[in-house]
A and B are shown apart, each in its own frame.
Chain A
């Protein structure tokens, strides 16, 4: 099963490499990992999607905690949380197919962010399955280039970072 973990860590040199090295060393199967600033200066926020049973995910969480720079780890898989991903898709679009592609963009509430003579670049934000379906619909037109950010997550409601702390067993 896929789990989504949120980890907060001090923004120190090498911290990303520590996390990446840990996943490789412990043979954890990471599907995606995104990192950026959090609301607190000096603290980075990482969203990690990991596949495995509960025991594996518990180990991921505990091993992350052992890194001195990691200050908090939360498994939000079972929480009411918002999951989002952003993708930029550059699709082959000569005059003949352009209208059809624009229609798909509308239906998916995506955005056209760049127009060239033979291509369109589309920006879409949403859950992975929504992005997956747009991609599969665009593929027949010819996808020239694509980038996806990986999942970011936030728990709904008042409490920050969800309620389930994973510190101890």
Chain B
């Protein structure tokens, strides 16, 4: 059949199974938007293109499908860049479609012209500038194929205005076969056998689970491996949820703000099985002292990740699920009571300190996260922003749902959470979606409150409001002589602001009000913003300082328990 370029875009999207796109219209996508109403695709009108890219990313992370965003040329396209870079760092499958000036005007500095394929080259898995409408079907097919296969990532397709308007014969192309792109899925059998042997001989084995487990849907295989050989599991930030955190073998998150017992387990284990994590610096601390006693097995679908940060590993290139399946065929049942007892002992010490973690005055953000975890049974889709709120969420929310945490781990993009939650709630309308965000981050994309209301999305927002760019303030307190330069932050009355946008806004200032406010938010059918006025100078602990080894962490400070008259948080926490 004969279609215009604009029609080809939507036709291809429908055939790829896309039912929702996030975007903003503009001068160079007029033809595209003119054709849109003829296709069964819901368009979510964002208020800023950065939001569109984050929403597509959030959609992809919540659903496991490719998320799609659309923007016009020039500023529309450049506004996508932060969102595309965020998706790239966290291996999220996103296809970005941008308008471009007509082909004859390219290179002439035309109105709203920008070289978006040049700009996004380092932050996309691949990108295309389509200059002939006849290429469009194949390019779109390849774009989706590349975005979702192998190590997923964002792909940008730049479609000039005249290509959108031109017509050509449309045939849906067959699955692409690209000579320069053949991801390895199945692990090398010899390496798998060596890994199985190492695991079978281990006395203190430990699994490090990354986002690769979640991307490949290997949660069941991971659990089977952990349970069969009794191997405790530490996760990265983005690996949270790969094993339910209430599981007896779960040690939660490791790294810079991981619990002491998780980091000690990394430092003391004799075999470390890294499944789908890239040994990010926030996880490893100083590389020369990382896991000094361990033989390290590194499973990753991206060969370039092996040997990049941690060297001297037993490598297995392949999809986490495929590799774990082949490993399971050779791993013997085992028990490690001594090892688990050591970890339990470290854990007991840590839990003791939790009770001391109430701030002398004011509302504890840790308690808010804990209360949220209890109220939702660990089953909500949590979308966290970046900074202190992100770490408290990771530490105190007990995630029991696969794909249950969406956060910008690699790029650390403040302003991510609000629009990403729009994508997550669009992908999972039945799920309870909570945003945790600071007063700094929410103001970086606060305009998306309007999108939430327009789309009637029942998103709940837990704003941890401390009047600071909190994580930076924490570093200033600890390493820059407490000189708060550029971190005190004057915000609006967020409850009133929420009200003005059409959300239910509730201010929470006292410990006793927390549970009731959360209950109210859950009971309310629409979107809610809870403005938690938390203690201003509360810090995230434990903390591995820059340059330190994982076992040299700064623990939670002791506070006089007699001052702690609030709640008996300890008994409840013990995560």
Q: What's the Cα separation between A81 and B317 when bound, in Å?
A: 30
Which A residues from 1 to 54 make CB contacts under 8 A with B? 9-10, 13-14, 17-18, 21-22, 25
Contact pick for B315, options A9, A10, A169, CB 8 Å: A169
Find out whether the CB atom of B117 lies under 8 angstroms from the CB atom of A14.
Answer: yes
Nearest B residue to A15 via CB reads B180
Chain A residues within an 8 Å CB radius of B303? 62, 65, 167-169
Contacts of B304 in A (CB 8 A): 59, 62-63, 65-66
A18 nearest CB neighbor, chain B only: B121
Q: Are B122 and A13 in touch, CB under 8 angstroms?
A: no
B294 interface residue per 8 A CB criterion = no
In the bound complex, CA of A21 to CA of B121 (Å): 8
The reply on B248 being an interface residue by CB < 8 A is no
CB proximity to A under 8 Å, residues B179-229? 179-181, 184, 188
B361 at the interface (CB under 8 A from A): no
Q: Which one, B129, B146, B178, B180, contacts A13 given CB within 8 A?
A: B129
B180 touches A67 (CB 8 A): yes
For residue B247, which residues in chain A have a CB less than 8 angstroms away from its CB?
Answer: none
Chain B residues with CB under 8 Å of A22's CB are 122
- Measured CB to CB, the closest approach of chain B to A63, in angstroms, equals 5
A53 to chain B, nearest CB (A): 11
Q: Nearest chain-B residue to A70 (Cβ)?
A: B180
The distance from the CB of A25 to the nearest CB of chain B, in whole angstroms, is 5
A119 to B111, CA, bound (A): 50
A59 and B307 contact, CB distance less than 8 A? yes
Q: Does B311 contact A (CB under 8 A)?
A: yes
* Contact A68:B118 (CB < 8 A) given known A55-B311, A169-B307: no
Q: Are A9 and B122 in contact (CB under 8 A)?
A: no
Query: Distance in Å from the Cβ of B89 to the closest Cβ of chain A?
Result: 13
Q: Does B126 contact A (CB under 8 A)?
A: yes
Please, how many angstroms separate the alpha-carbon atoms of A126 and B317 in the complex? 40
- Is B121's CB under 8 angstroms from A68's CB? no
Q: Is residue B19 contacting chain A, with contact meaning CB distance below 8 A?
A: no
Chain A, Cβ-Cβ closest to B313? A169
A14 to B126, Cβ gap below 8 A?
no
Q: Does B308 contact A (CB under 8 A)?
A: yes
Most buried by B among A25, A67, A70, A168: A168
Docked-complex contact B146 and A68, CB < 8 angstroms: yes
- Least Cβ–Cβ distance between A140 and chain B, in angstroms: 45
Q: Does B80 contact A (CB under 8 A)?
A: no
Check if A17 sits within 8 Å of B179, measured CB to CB: no
Least Cβ distance of A61 to chain B in Å?
Answer: 9
B residues less than 8 Å from A25 (CB atoms): 122
Residues on A with C-beta less than 8 A from B180 are: 9-10, 67-71
The answer to whether B364 has its CB under 8 Å from any CB of chain A is: no
Q: Is A58 an interface residue (CB 8 A)?
A: yes
Judge whether B146 and A21 touch: CB under 8 Å: no
In chain B, positions 300-317 with a C-beta closer than 8 Å to chain A are: 302-304, 306-308, 311, 315, 317
Residue of B nearest to A10 (CB): B180
Q: A168 contacts B317, CB within 8 Å?
A: yes
Residues from 159 to 186 in B contacting A, C-beta threshold 8 Å:
178-181, 184
Q: Are A169 and B306 in contact (CB under 8 A)?
A: yes
Contacts of B181 in A (CB 8 A): 68
A14 to B118, CA, bound (A): 8
The answer for the CA separation of A75 and B250 in the assembled complex, in Å, is: 43
CB of B144 to closest CB in A, whole Å: 13
Q: Which residues of the other chain, A, contact B121 by a CB distance below 8 angstroms? A: 14, 17-18, 21
- Beyond A22-B122, A55-B311, A169-B306: 16 further Cβ-contacts under 8 Å? A10-B180, A13-B129, A14-B118, A14-B121, A21-B122, A55-B307, A62-B304, A66-B302, A68-B126, A68-B180, A70-B180, A71-B179, A167-B184, A167-B303, A168-B188, A169-B303
* 21 A–B pairs (Cβ distance < 8 Å), ordered by A: A9-B180, A10-B179, A13-B129, A14-B117, A14-B118, A21-B121, A21-B122, A55-B311, A59-B308, A68-B125, A68-B126, A68-B146, A68-B178, A68-B181, A69-B180, A71-B180, A167-B184, A167-B303, A168-B184, A168-B303, A169-B307
